[in-house]
């Protein structure tokens, strides 16, 4: 994951093409949230439910990103900080619920996990393809890319967890993947918050330097 230099001009999302792509990705993520959360509940899969939560977070993140395109640096960095905090909270929730499920006796339905995981992977690969050209923008734009990347990685992990559950007849692969996804949430939250704060500092220095 490459960082962006705070002193370089960054894409801020002011593009009709970028906005169209975001609308498509929002629709894809909102749809898969409903599908995957329902399937995760039915299959008793913590990994599927964690991945569904990621879809919901993405849909909200993209909506916020659309709303602040073209706004001031303060508004955009505030939006990025809010998204970073939301990812942090989701990561903590997944960690907590995964620890709780360690003591749960039931074994997830591997077949449902596999089918829905493949569907989610296809959805997120489409999202990554749509957004990859804009992955190195400002904190607001970059947060969109990080969420899409997290989803694609999470979907691959869910499919692997399904094979693991099927092969071991235990819920441990499901719980391990949920823990990995929680770590991704927390890592992305850290990077988004750090970049947003750096951009805010650079903007303040530029303002003071100009005066």
- Give per-residue burial for 31-40: e unless 16+ CB within 10 Å, then b: ebbebbbebb
Q: Is the pLDDT of residue 10 over 80?
A: no
Residue 1 pLDDT: 32
d(C-alpha 23, C-alpha 28), whole Å? 9
Residue 101 pLDDT: 66
**Domains assigned to the chain:** 16-210 (1.20.1510)
Q: How many CB atoms lie within 10 A of CB 207?
A: 10
Residue 7 pLDDT: 38
| DSSP string over 86-117 | HHHHHHHHHHHHHHHHTT------HHHHHHHH
**pTM confidence score:** 0.65
Residue 8 burial (C-beta neighbours within 10 Å; 0-12, 13-18, 19+): exposed
Question: Which residue do the tokens 């007849």 mark?
Answer: 169
| DSSP string over 7-66 | TS----S--HHHHHHHHHHHHHHHHHHHHHHHHHHHHT-HHHHHHHHHHHHHHHHHHHHH
- Asked whether 124 and 152 are in contact (CB, 8 A), the reply is yes
Average pLDDT on 110-137 reads: 82
Looking at the chain, the whole-number percentage of residues with pLDDT higher than 90 is 4
Average pLDDT on 43-69 reads: 79
Q: Is the pLDDT of residue 27 over 90?
A: yes
- Asked whether 137 and 80 are in contact (CB, 8 A), the reply is no
* More confidently predicted of 7 and 125: 125
Q: How many CB atoms lie within 10 A of CB 120?
A: 29
Instruction: Return all residues near 181 (Cβ < 8 A) that are at least 6 apart.
Output: 47, 50, 51, 54, 94, 150, 154, 157
d(C-alpha 132, C-alpha 135), whole Å? 5
Residue 31 pLDDT: 93
- pLDDT confidence bin for 65, thresholds 50/70/90: confident
Residue 13 pLDDT: 63
Mean pLDDT of the chain: 78
């Amino acid at each position: 994951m490459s960082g962006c230099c705070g002193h370089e001009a960054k894409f801020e999302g002011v593009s009709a093409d970028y906005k169209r792509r975001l609308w498509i990705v929002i629709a894809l993520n909102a749809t898969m949230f409903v599908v995957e959360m329902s399937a995760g509940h039915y299959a008793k899969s913590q990994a599927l439910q964690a991945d569904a939560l990621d879809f919901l977070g993405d849909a909200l993140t993209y909506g916020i990103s659309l709303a602040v395109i073209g706004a001031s640096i303060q508004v955009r960095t505030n939006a990025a900080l809010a998204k970073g905090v939301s990812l942090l909270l989701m990561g903590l929730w997944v960690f907590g619920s995964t620890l709780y499920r360690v003591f749960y006796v039931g074994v997830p339905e591997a077949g449902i996990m596999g089918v829905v995981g493949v569907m989610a992977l296809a959805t997120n690969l489409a999202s990554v393809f749509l957004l990859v050209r804009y992955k190195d923008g400002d904190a607001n734009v970059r947060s969109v890319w990080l969420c899409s990347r997290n989803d694609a990685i999470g979907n691959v992990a869910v499919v692997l967890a399904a094979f693991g559950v099927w092969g071991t007849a235990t819920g441990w692969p499901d719980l391990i993947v949920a823990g990995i996804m929680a770590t991704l949430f927390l890592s992305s939250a850290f990077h988004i918050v750090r970049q947003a704060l750096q951009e805010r500092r650079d903007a303040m220095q530029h303002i003071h330097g100009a005066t």
